[in-house]
């Protein structure tokens, strides 16, 4: 079956760096998304990777290894507003999205 695994919850300190890992198993693969979702709000797009490697976008970076079925989201210089859930989403061979349950990131001062 198709599956996304990511930690349920992580805690980090304001100003620090945190890495949220995601492993996926899909029928074929057409890329991986990361979305951010603040409590009580809608998900918003953060990144999309389809090739191996690291893509940087400001304080956020996303990494993909297709051979390992692995991705991570790296958040630098953490701010209190980064407290949210981060959703890992894989796109399978039929372009169907497989959503992870999300990682709740708690930022402490």
Partner 1 sequence: IAGITQAPTSQILAAGRRMTLRCTQDMRHNAMYWYRQDLGLGLRLIHYSNTAGTTGKGEVPDGYSVSRANTDDFPLTLASAVPSQTSVYFCASSLAGGVNHEQFFGPGTRLTVL
User: Contact positions toward partner 1, by CB under 8 A?
Assistant: 4, 30-31, 33, 41-45, 48, 50, 87, 89, 91, 94-102
What is the C-alpha separation between 94 and 103, in angstroms, rounded? 25
Nearer Cβ to partner 1, position 78 or 90?
90
To partner 1, the closest distance from the beta carbon of 45 in angstroms equals 4
**Cβ burial, residue 106 (10 Å; 0-12/13-18/19+):** exposed
Cβ 96 vs Cβ 79: under 8 Å: no
Spatial distance between the Cα atoms of 13 and 62, rounded to a whole number of angstroms: 20
Cβ proximity to partner 1, 78 vs 84, nearer residue: 84
Nearer to partner 1, 19 or 99 (CB): 99
Residue 30 Cβ vs partner 1, minimum distance, rounded to whole Å: 6
Nearest to 34 by CA among 78, 90, 81, 106: 90
| Residue 75 vs 90, nearer CB to partner 1 | 90
CB 106, min distance to partner 1, A = 17
């Amino acid at each position: 079956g198709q599956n996304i695994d990511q930690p349920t919850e992580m805690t980090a300190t304001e100003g620090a760096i945190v890495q949220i890992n995601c492993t996926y198993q899909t029928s074929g693969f057409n890329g991986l998304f990361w979305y951010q979702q603040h409590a009580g709000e809608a998900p918003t797009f953060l990144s999309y990777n389809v090739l191996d490697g690291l893509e940087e976008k400001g304080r956020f970076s996303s990494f993909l290894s297709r051979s390992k079925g692995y991705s991570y989201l790296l958040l630098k210089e953490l701010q209190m507003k980064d407290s949210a859930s981060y959703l890992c989403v894989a796109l399978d061979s039929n372009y169907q999205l497989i959503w992870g349950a999300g990682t709740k990131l708690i930022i402490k001062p």
